[in-house]
Structure 1
Amino acid sequence: MTQRVELATVMDRLAVDGLVTEYAVAVDDGDWEAYRRLFTVDGRADYRSAGGIEGDAGQVAGWLEETMRLFPMRQHLIVNRRVRFGLLEQDIGDTARIQADYVNPMRFAGPDGGPSEPDFVCGGRYAFAFLRTGEGWRLREVVVREKWRRTPRVRQQDT
């Protein structure tokens, strides 16, 4: 591998890794327009394992916008990223995949719509698929594979 190819690979790796971060920030900040812009025109997302929907990025962004109102405080922690580049039409590096683990603490909304107790925490693994486009790298698919969740316990009242 030449230095030029190695540098291009590093730059691509940084670009797709940056998209994963932009994805997490868009969801955590509730920036659904930014979320939509991360995807290719035919991009899809699948949140079914976490009790959600599967559909095109626009449909899923609308569902997330409604659902995430229950959780005004949320924070994705995405770690253990494994990046793989692939082929599209025989051009090396036109596709990429990242498998990454996540922990996602969220706080339920209170009566005024702001954060309240208790917290809800879930974790699992993302499968991200990317495509190099004329505008740069974009998400082609996001699949959430929730592995666990911790929901709040109902406290017993002293009688």
Structure 2
Amino acid sequence: MTQRSEHSTVMDRLAIDDLITEYAIAVDDGDWPGYRALFTRDGRADYRSAGGIEGGTKEIAAWLDEMLRHFSIRQHLIVNRRITLARHDGAPGDTATVQADYLNPMRLAGPAAGTPGGPTAPDHTSAGRYRFAARRTPDGWRLTEVVVQEKWRQVGAANV
């Protein structure tokens, strides 16, 4: 691998890592235009293993908007990112996959949630693994697919 190829690989990995971070922030902040902008035009997501739906990003963003309104506090922690860049003739390619674990604590919305002195601890936590697919576009790296594989979920009263 040449020095130029190594530099390109590092830059691609950093850009893809940023893309995954932006994904988590968009979901947690409810930034649905930002969420859709992270995907290619034909991008898809599959949340069925977590009780959700599968579809194109417009449909998914509308579903997420509706479902996540029930949670006043959301925080995606996406860790253990394993980025695999496609290679062509020893040079970095234009596609990549990412496997990453997630922990997602959330607090149900309610009259006392988020108020001073009210409960702030999560009462719904899920965890599992994401599989992301990404493609280099003229606008930078974009997601082509997100698949969630929920491994566990804990639902119950939180400590305040």
Superposition TM-score, scaled by structure 2 size: 0.89
Alignment partner, residue 10 of structure 1: 10
Q: CA deviation at 1:114?
A: 5.0
Number of equivalenced pairs: 153
Q: CA deviation at 1:113?
A: 7.5
Query: Which structure 2 segments of 5+ residues have no match?
Result: none
Q: Secondary structure at the match of 1:72?
A: strand
Alignment partner, residue 152 of structure 1: 156
Alignment partner, residue 102 of structure 2: 102
CA–CA distance in structure 2, aligned partners of residues 45 and 129 of structure 1: 10
Asked if 1 retains the 8 angstrom alpha-carbon contact of 2:107 and 2:113, the reply is no
Alignment partner, residue 138 of structure 1: 142
**Deviates further, 144-153 or 115-124:** 115-124
Alignment partner, residue 49 of structure 2: 49
Q: CA deviation at 1:75?
A: 0.4
CA offset digits 1:117-154 (Å, max 9, x no partner): 56100000000000111111000000000000000059
CA–CA distance in structure 2, aligned partners of residues 106 and 69 of structure 1: 11
Query: Which structure 1 segments of 5+ residues have no match?
Result: 155-159
CA–CA distance in structure 2, aligned partners of residues 53 and 15 of structure 1: 28
Q: Secondary structure at the match of 2:83?
A: strand
Q: Secondary structure at the match of 2:95?
A: strand
Runs of 4+ that moved beyond 3 A: 111-118
Superposition TM-score, scaled by structure 1 size: 0.89
Correspondence list, 1:4-43, <5 A: 4-43=4-43
Q: CA deviation at 1:38?
A: 0.2
**Deviates further, 116-125 or 36-45:** 116-125
RMSD of equivalent CA atoms: 2.1
Q: Percent identity?
A: 63
Alignment partner, residue 157 of structure 1: none
CA–CA distance in structure 2, aligned partners of residues 120 and 153 of structure 1: 8
